[in-house]
Amino acid sequence: MMRLEMTVLLWGCLLALVHIFGAAQVKTRQYGPKWNMGARDEDLPPPNPIVGRWVRAQANFFETFPLAIVAVVALSVTGTQTFWTQLGALLWLGGRIVYLPLYAAGVPVVRTIVFLISLVGILMMLWPSLALGVGANTLFG
């Protein structure tokens, strides 16, 4: 049976596709289908605000997604999944789902709070594996 944290990670992969195709969709609306299907070598005018927000939200997601992946893999390898790591996984995914429309809509402070909640979720997943490693043997003793 697959653990909840891994299931959340798989849903995160779908959310990654939403980021990729959402950003591409709004860019194509601004720059046109010829740009989308072309080599994209030409200089473009600055993105309009919604395009810029989608691109920045996408970049933000892909800055933290690898951390979530490592956290879930570490939980799987160490077998340290708990109620708290499951809650952390749900906080991460829920935060990331809510973050995207908040960013796209240009909502300032709430967006940052939601981002921080997702970051707390990652830390909740990392903590058991990190705590397990503190007492582990190292190269130096």
CB 115 within 8 A of CB 31: no
Tens digits of residue pLDDT in 47-67: 999 999 999 999 999 999 999
Give the pLDDT score at 134: 62
pLDDT above 90: residue 42: no
pLDDT of residue 138: 56
Q: How many CA atoms lie within 13 A of 62 on its CB side?
A: 11
Of 1.20.120.550, 1.20.120.530, 3.40.50.300, 2.30.30.30, the CATH number of 4-133 is 1.20.120.550
Q: What is the DSSP letter of 136?
A: S
Number of helical H runs and strand E runs in the chain:
5, 0
Cα-Cα-Cα-Cα torsion 78, 72, 126, 98, nearest 10 degrees, comes to -160
Average confidence score pLDDT of the chain? 94
pLDDT at 41 over 80: yes
pLDDT in tens, 77-116: 999 999 999 999 999 999 999 999 999 999 999 999 999 9
pLDDT digits (tens, 9 = 90+) for 7-20: 999 999 999 999 99
Domains of the chain: which residue ranges? 4-133
Kindly report the CA angle at 47 between 68 and 18, in degrees rounded to 5?
35
